[in-house]
């Protein structure tokens, strides 16, 4: 019988350790280190969610790898003092925390940072302040900008995720205040509708009437990239980041575009799995199970993370999971240099084809009523319903009269699409303004129509040529399958509804909603990055 020759690893842990910031605010966290030896390099993670997300930090593996580990609560969260202000304080607080770590006798002066989502943003914002001693950052599934790709996509408010995350953070703030002895009963009462019935809350009109989320008005009253967002952007200056960064993304993550942009600007290793925002450890997303090999543990992502943070990574520059083939593949760069941008045209009769349409073909038409928007079914979501994510069957959506479908002939051979995907749409509306949405769909031989990726663009003109960014994918449409593109004017509540008036959507009331008569012209197409096979 095999026996493991291992000695006990004795560890010391200190909780609620005070760490003073430059303005006198005391942040707190836990410090974990081997009881013997040292000083150690330190792995730092900072979180606004309390203790829960720290369980995803590879604590034992990091200690075995020779790190001490500091898990710190952001200001106004957990046991830290102060007021939580999303994204505003994370750069300076990260800088000050690293300075505090380097002054401790158990620290050798070298610090690395790790995290996913907001935690990864904390790490990148700290890196942008160029703190002495910061050696590397591991950043998973995080935006590159606080306006574009976080609160707004293609000009439309990311309503579902903004409301869901905002309500959660508001609740955490009230619990923090209650712990400090404040009376928060009235504030909880105000927040309750947004917390307990988000299906109703997303239909609030005007949207500015949503209550209980401290930052809500700021988010929805600045739909354009103005001074408000530029001020936040100054806290994440990519041109100031010097530490090497490893990036991890998911094909169905709402921050895929942000992670890819972080990688483009900063370089460093990139790993993309078939994951949504909360499923990197699993083998399935939405209606598909890709098998255990698709999971982060199977690809030893944790081990690679620690190797990168120790400066010992020997993995590929880019590692992607190719859906359809359901295999991991190493690449030299992203996007793939060998991918060929290929146009598939949107013919008026519903055909999707590499062949251009005949001259003079008539446009397709539909009517969009913002009182009855096309429902969100799957995609890169972070909604109150955690099952409404990833690849989902689109057949119910496609039966609606306000959804146009363009479908290819049955494929005679495999078609690999790996890279950025866009739709170029020449379209017209009867309204003063509208939204145009597009979705790429994989139609299986049994009729299932599973979503692959989607996007939106908000327009302020009645006609024109518009580009809809569907971000990216790696999907093999197998022989016997068909490729489909959906076109419509809403994807709700992933995005807010466009009232059609041209005025700010945040202040639109029920009386402001305009029925919109839409036309899509046949000189429109989707650009697919086709990889020769």
37 with 71, same domain? Answer: yes
At 253-295, the pLDDT tens digits run 999 999 999 999 999 999 999 999 988 777 889 999 999 999 9
Q: What number is the average pLDDT over the span 209-215?
A: 97
- 355 and 285 part of one domain: no
Instruction: Tell whether the model's pLDDT for residue 55 goes beyond 80.
Output: no
Report yes or no on 5 lying in a domain: no
Tell me, yes or no, whether 49 and 188 share the same domain.
Answer: no
Active site residue 348: no
Residue 522 lies in a domain: yes
Q: If residue 92 lies in a helix (H) or strand (E), which one and from where to where?
A: helix 90-102
Reduced to 3 states, what is the DSSP secondary structure of residue 204? Answer: coil
User: H or E segment at 190?
Assistant: helix 185-196
Phi, psi of 91 (to 5 degrees): -65, -55
Q: How far apart are CA 423 and CA 455, in angstroms?
A: 9
511 plus 372 within the same structural domain: yes
Residue at 311 is within a domain: yes
For 88, counting Cβ atoms within 10 Å of its Cβ (0-12 exposed, 13-18 middle, 19+ buried), the class is middle
pLDDT tens-digit profile of 78-94? 999 999 999 999 999 99
Cα gap 506→8, rounded to integer Å: 59
User: Hey, which bits of 334-446 come out as E strands?
Assistant: 340-346, 352-353, 364-368, 404-407, 415-429, 434-443
Q: Are 401 and 418 in contact (CB under 8 A)?
A: no
The one catalytic residue among 107, 117, 276, 474: 117
Q: Which of 303, 331, 359 delimits the end of a domain?
A: 331
Domain end among 188, 203, 230: 230
The closest alpha carbon to 131, from 240, 270, 261, belongs to 240
Domain ranges, residue 347: 340-530
- Do the bridges between strand 107-116 and strand 134-140 make them parallel or antiparallel, or are there none, so unpaired? parallel
User: What pLDDT is stored for residue 199 in this prediction?
Assistant: 93
The enclosing domain of 444 has a CATH number of 2.60.120.260
Round to whole Å and give the CA distance between 397 and 368.
Answer: 14
Residue 1 placed within a domain: no
Catalytic residue, candidates 277, 345, 347, 481: 277
pLDDT of 269 reads: 98
HSE (CB half, 13 Å, CA atoms) of 135?
Answer: 18
Which tokens sit at 381? Answer: 């979501």
Claim to verify: residue 322 and residue 462 sit in the same structural domain: no
Query: How far is it, in rounded angstroms, from Cα 129 to Cα 95?
Result: 7
Tell me if 504 is assigned to some domain.
yes
Query: Cα separation of 374 and 384, whole Å?
Result: 18
The contacts of residue 228 (CB under 8 Å, 6+ apart) are 218, 222
pLDDT for res 462 = 95
Is the pLDDT score of 241 beyond 80? yes
Dist CA 278 CA 253 (whole Å): 8
Give the C-alpha separation, 439 to 404, whole Å.
10
Asked which of 331, 353, 369 is the last residue of a domain, the reply is 331
Q: What is the pLDDT of residues 408-426, one digit of tens each?
A: 999 999 999 999 999 999 9
Q: Across residues 127-142, what is the average pLDDT?
A: 98
Whole-angstrom distance, CA of residue 9 vs CA of residue 34 = 7
What is the number of other CB atoms lying within 10 angstroms of the CB of residue 498? 31
Residue 487 has pLDDT above 90, yes or no: yes
Position 54 pLDDT exceeds 80: no
Give yes or no for residue 525 having a pLDDT over 80. Answer: yes
**Same domain? 410 vs 519:** yes
Interior CA angle at 28 toward 25 and 32, to 5°? 150
Q: How many domains does the chain have?
A: 3
Q: How many CA atoms lie within 13 A of 161 on its CB side?
A: 22
Say if residue 52's pLDDT is above 90: no
253 given a catalytic annotation: yes
CB 106 within 8 A of CB 68: yes
Instruction: Give me the pLDDT at residue 360, please.
Output: 85
**pLDDT at residue number 205:** 97
More confident residue, 510 or 360: 510
Tell me the HSE value of 451 on the side-chain side, using a 13 A CA sphere.
Answer: 31
Distance CA 117, CA 5 (A): 38
Residue from 228, 230, 321 nearest 272 by CA: 321
pLDDT score recorded for residue 90: 98
**Contact call for residues 205 and 509 (beta carbons, < 8 A):** yes
Please give the radius of gyration of the chain, using alpha carbons only, rounded to the nearest integer: 24
pLDDT at 57 over 90: no
Do 131 and 69 sit in the same domain of this protein? yes
In a domain, 82, yes or no: yes
Q: Measuring CA to CA, which residue among 262, 231, 232, 258 is closest to residue 246?
A: 262
Residue 418 or residue 1, greater confidence:
418
Report, as an integer, the average pLDDT of 13-19: 97
Let me know whether 111 and 212 are in one domain. Answer: no
Query: Residue 244: its pLDDT value, please?
Result: 98
Residues 272 and 132 in one domain: yes
Q: Rounded distance, CA 71 to CA 84, Å?
A: 17
- 463 and 524 both lie in a single domain: yes
Q: Are residues 448 and 413 in the same domain?
A: yes
Query: What is the percent of the chain where pLDDT is above 70?
Result: 100
Total residue count of the chain as it appears in this document: 533
Q: Yes or no: say if 451 and 379 are a contact pair by the CB < 8 Å rule.
A: yes
Q: Can you give the CATH number for the domain in which 162 is found?
A: 1.10.3020
- Cis check for the bond before 530: say yes or no (omega within 30 of 0): no
On the question of pLDDT at 56 being above 80, the answer is no
Q: What is the pLDDT of residues 156-210, one digit of tens each?
A: 999 999 999 999 999 999 999 999 999 999 999 999 999 999 999 999 999 999 9
Q: Of 93, 148, 253, 469, which one is the catalytic site residue?
A: 253
Same domain, 94 and 73: yes
Question: Residue 2: inside a domain, yes or no?
Answer: no
Neighbours of 410 (CB within 10 A): 11
Q: Are 323 and 251 in contact (CB under 8 A)?
A: yes
The pLDDT tens digits of the residues spanning 464-480 come to: 999 999 999 999 999 99
* Confidence grade of residue 245 (pLDDT, cut at 50, 70, 90): very high
Cα 162 from Cα 344, distance rounded (Å): 34
User: Any idea what the CATH number is for the domain that residue 298 is in?
Assistant: 3.40.50.1820
Q: Is residue 3 part of a domain?
A: no
Report percent pLDDT > 90 for the chain: 94
With a cut of 80, say whether residue 344 has pLDDT above it: yes
Per-chain mean pLDDT for the chain:
96
The question of whether 277 is a catalytic residue gets the answer yes
Q: What is the pLDDT of residue 484?
A: 98
Evaluate if residue 3 carries a pLDDT over 90.
no
How deeply is 376 buried, as exposed, middle or buried, from its count of CB atoms within 10 A (0-12, 13-18, 19+)? Answer: buried
């Amino acid at each position: 019988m095999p026996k493991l020759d291992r000695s006990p690893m004795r560890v010391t842990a200190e909780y609620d350790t005070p760490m003073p910031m430059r303005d006198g605010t005391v942040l707190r966290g836990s410090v974990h280190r081997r009881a013997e030896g040292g000083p150690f390099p330190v792995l730092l993670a900072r979180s606004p969610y309390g203790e829960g997300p720290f369980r995803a930090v590879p604590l034992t593996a990091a200690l075995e790898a020779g790190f001490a580990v500091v898990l710190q609560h952001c200001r106004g969260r957990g046991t830290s003092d102060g007021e939580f202000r999303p994204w505003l304080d994370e750069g300076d607080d990260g800088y000050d925390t690293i300075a505090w770590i380097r002054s401790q006798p158990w620290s050798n002066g070298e610090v690395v940072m790790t995290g996913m989502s907001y935690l990864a943003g904390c790490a990148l914002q700290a890196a942008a302040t160029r703190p002495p001693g910061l050696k590397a950052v591991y950043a998973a599934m995080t935006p590159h900008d606080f306006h574009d790709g976080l609160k707004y996509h293609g000009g439309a408010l990311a309503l579902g995720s903004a409301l869901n995350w905002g309500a959660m953070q508001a609740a955490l703030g009230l619990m923090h205040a209650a712990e400090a002895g404040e009376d928060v009963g009235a504030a909880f009462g105000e927040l309750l509708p947004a917390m307990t019935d988000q299906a109703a809350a997303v239909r609030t009109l005007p949207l500015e009437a949503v209550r209980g989320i401290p930052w809500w008005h700021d988010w929805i009253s600045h739909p354009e990239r103005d001074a408000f967002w530029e001020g936040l952007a100054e806290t994440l200056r990519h041109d100031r980041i010097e530490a090497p960064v490893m990036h991890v993304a998911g094909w169905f993550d709402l921050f895929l575009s942000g992670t890819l942009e972080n990688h483009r600007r900063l370089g460093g290793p990139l790993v993309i799995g078939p994951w949504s925002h909360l499923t990197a450890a699993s083998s399935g997303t939405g209606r598909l199970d890709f098998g255990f090999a698709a999971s982060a543990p199977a690809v030893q992502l944790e081990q690679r993370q620690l190797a990168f943070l120790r400066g010992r990574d020997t993995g590929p520059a880019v590692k992607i999971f190719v859906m359809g083939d359901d295999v991991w593949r190493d690449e030299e760069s992203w996007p793939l240099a060998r991918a060929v941008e290929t146009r598939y045209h949107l013919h008026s009769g519903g055909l999707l084809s590499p062949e251009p349409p005949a001259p003079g073909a008539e446009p397709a038409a539909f009517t969009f009523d913002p009182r009855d928007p096309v429902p969100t079914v799957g995609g890169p979501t972070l909604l109150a319903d955690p099952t409404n994510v990833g690849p989902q069957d689109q057949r119910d959506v496609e039966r609606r009269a306000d959804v146009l479908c363009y479908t290819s002939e049955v494929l005679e051979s495999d078609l690999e699409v790996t890279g950025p995907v866009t739709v170029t749409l020449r379209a017209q509306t009867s309204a003063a303004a509208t939204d145009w949405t597009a979705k790429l769909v994989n139609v299986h031989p049994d009729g299932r129509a599973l979503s692959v990726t989607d996007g939106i663009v908000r327009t302020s003109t009645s006609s024109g040529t518009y580009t809809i960014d569907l971000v990216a994918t790696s999907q093999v449409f197998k022989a016997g399958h068909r490729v489909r593109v959906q076109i419509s004017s809403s994807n709700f509540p992933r995005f807010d509804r466009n009232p059609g008036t041209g005025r700010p959507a945040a202040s639109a009331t029920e009386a402001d909603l305009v029925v919109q008569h839409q036309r899509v012209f046949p000189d429109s197409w989707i650009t697919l990055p086709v990889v020769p096979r």
